Amino acid sequence: MTTTTTNSNKKYYPTALALYFAYFILGIASSIMGQYKTEFAKAWGATTSASGVIDVSMVVSVIAAYGLGRLIAYPFAGPISDKVGRRVSGFIGMALYAAFFFGMISVHSMWFAYGVGVMNGIANSFLDTCVSPSVMEIFPKSASIANLFTKFAITVAQFVLPFVIGLVASANMSYQVIFIACGLLMVIDAILVLILPFPKQTAKTPATKADTTAKPQHRFTAASIASILIGFTSSATFMIWLNCNQELGTSYGIKDPSVLQSFYAVGATIAVLLTAQFIHMGLKETTVLIMYPSISVVMLLLCYFITSPTILYIGSFVIGYAAAGGVLQLATSTTVGFFPDSKGLATSLVMIASSVANYAVLSLAAYLTKATGASAPRMIILLNVVITLIGVGLAVIVKRRSQPTVNVTAAKVEN
């Protein structure tokens, strides 16, 4: 890239900041419901057991609706981004996120809230198909790093959120203040997206996920299918922990379980940076796909057998590192290597598997919460162990049966 091109791209830097900020708010949206399950359950008329425990299963079901929204939107969010424009896709995503924040504190029925939860997932899909390709086009020489920083923005938000929750509580303000503030910030960001310049779309962008005009060469093998399914298991591991650790922390005697979120976010943030460096130094992606979930299994078992607050603080950091620090992204890159002529298809398949996990596994967690009562938090740990173990097995299949011709490294830029 010439110096002239570099200088011309500087005019897009404010656009990149606006897009990264949108992902910062997305990070809050993806985890804030899990921090206020009791408050929402009360607002929606949840029952209280004889022991005084409020049934929060309906809130977990609403959180699961996020995955359903992503499933609904992915088939057409990509084409809108490609054919109509990144700006339009980004504006739709931000507008829907603003509606999510305002809507969730306005409804008083679990079913209306479920609809708002679906809108959360749809918003995520539209934002995905805008932000990733846009930042890659703004920083073409560092496309993979630019995309990696979308994950960084999310983890920073998830680190900051517990402190914001603490400040709001100490000021005796309602939790709704956070939702209102985030909604307003998304409205402002949406306006900026309408005003700020966007780079010209390249003919073949990494994250459109919908460019299927050419006849692809599909290679569905045991390894490629296993790689796709890791999208399910890797997402399930961190989604279950992220949304169900509050009750576990309370049952283990932690007075402020929201702090676990900060440990989780620190682990994920460090993992994003270190894993990128390890890959650059020569560590194979398929090795990471085995190693990180294995670490998660060990840590989850320790959290099951050792019922102390300390183990949960350690566990939150380790799960953040090993489950949320890039396994899903590496699974996507690996899958793309199996479909060199169908990168959009490969990316969509992994993300659909991830969306199914968001919906199905959290719905199962909601059922366990309702069915098993006080023992639910530890039962959910065992559920997470089983799913993550399956992920390790899938990764072993990928490593042993993938062909040497699969160029995973070259595919990273496409994700």
Q: What is the pLDDT of residues 22-75, one digit of tens each?
A: 999 999 998 898 888 888 988 888 777 666 677 888 888 898 888 889 888 877
- Of residues 98, 91, 78, 86, the one with CA closest to residue 135: 86
Ranked by mean pLDDT, the top range of 11-15, 33-37, 138-142, 298-302 is 298-302
Q: Return d(Cα 113, Cα 414) in angstroms, integer.
A: 35
The verdict on 180 and 264 lying in the same domain is no
**What is the model's pLDDT at position 1?**
46
Contact 317, 264 (CB under 8 A): yes
Which of 157, 180, 204 is the endpoint of a domain? 204
The verdict on 223 and 128 lying in the same domain is no
- For residue 277, give its domain range: 212-415
The verdict on 136 and 218 lying in the same domain is no
The verdict on 281 and 409 lying in the same domain is yes
Contact 44, 52 (CB under 8 A): no
Which of 204, 222, 253 is the endpoint of a domain? 204
**What is the model's pLDDT at position 308?**
93
Buried-exposed string 316-351: b where 16+ CB fall within 10 A, e elsewhere: bbbbbbbbbbbbbbbbbbbbbbbbbebbbbbbbbbb
Record the tokens describing residue 133, joined without a space.
Answer: 């390709």
Lowest mean pLDDT among 104-113, 137-146, 249-258, 351-360: 137-146
Q: What is the dihedral of CA 164, 170, 171, 173, to 10 degrees?
A: 70
Residue 413 has pLDDT above 90, yes or no: no
The verdict on 307 and 165 lying in the same domain is no
Lowest mean pLDDT among 115-129, 173-187, 214-228, 240-254: 214-228
Q: What is the CATH number of the domain that holds 353?
A: 1.20.1250.20
* Averaged confidence pLDDT in the chain: 84
Confidence of residue 247 (pLDDT cuts 50, 70, 90): confident
Q: Write the single-letter amino acid at 149.
A: F
Number of folded domains that form the chain: 2
Q: How many CA atoms lie within 13 A of 166 on its CB side?
A: 13
The verdict on 221 and 364 lying in the same domain is yes
**What is the model's pLDDT at position 349?**
79
Q: What percent of the chain has pLDDT over 70?
A: 85
Counting Cβ atoms within 10 Å, is residue 216 exposed (0-12), middle (13-18) or buried (19+)?
A: middle
The verdict on 198 and 260 lying in the same domain is no
Sign of CA dihedral 359, 364, 369, 375: negative
Reported as a single tens digit per residue, the pLDDT across 285-297 is: 889 899 999 999 9
Residue 148 has pLDDT above 70, yes or no: no
Provide the 3-class DSSP secondary structure of residue 54.
Answer: strand
The verdict on 23 and 148 lying in the same domain is yes
253: phi > 0 → left, psi -120 to 50 → alpha, else beta; which? left
Q: How large is the average pLDDT for residues 255-269?
A: 87
- Of residues 247, 250, 262, 258, the one with CA closest to residue 379: 247
**What is the model's pLDDT at position 408?**
43
**What is the model's pLDDT at position 405?**
43
Which of 179, 204, 229 is the endpoint of a domain? 204
The verdict on 284 and 166 lying in the same domain is no
**What is the model's pLDDT at position 360?**
87
Record the tokens describing residue 259, joined without a space.
Answer: 């702090």
Q: How far is CA 87 from CA 82, 83, 127, 190, 275, in A?
A: 10, 11, 10, 9, 31
Q: Is the pTM of this model over 0.85?
A: no
The verdict on 197 and 232 lying in the same domain is no
How many residues does the structure list for the chain?
415
The verdict on 328 and 277 lying in the same domain is yes
Contacts of 83 (CB under 8 A, 6+ apart): none
Record the tokens describing residue 366, joined without a space.
Answer: 């909601």
Residue, of 32 and 210, whose pLDDT is higher: 32
Q: How large is the average pLDDT for residues 347-352?
A: 76
Contacts of 363 (CB under 8 A, 6+ apart): 60, 61, 64
The verdict on 180 and 275 lying in the same domain is no
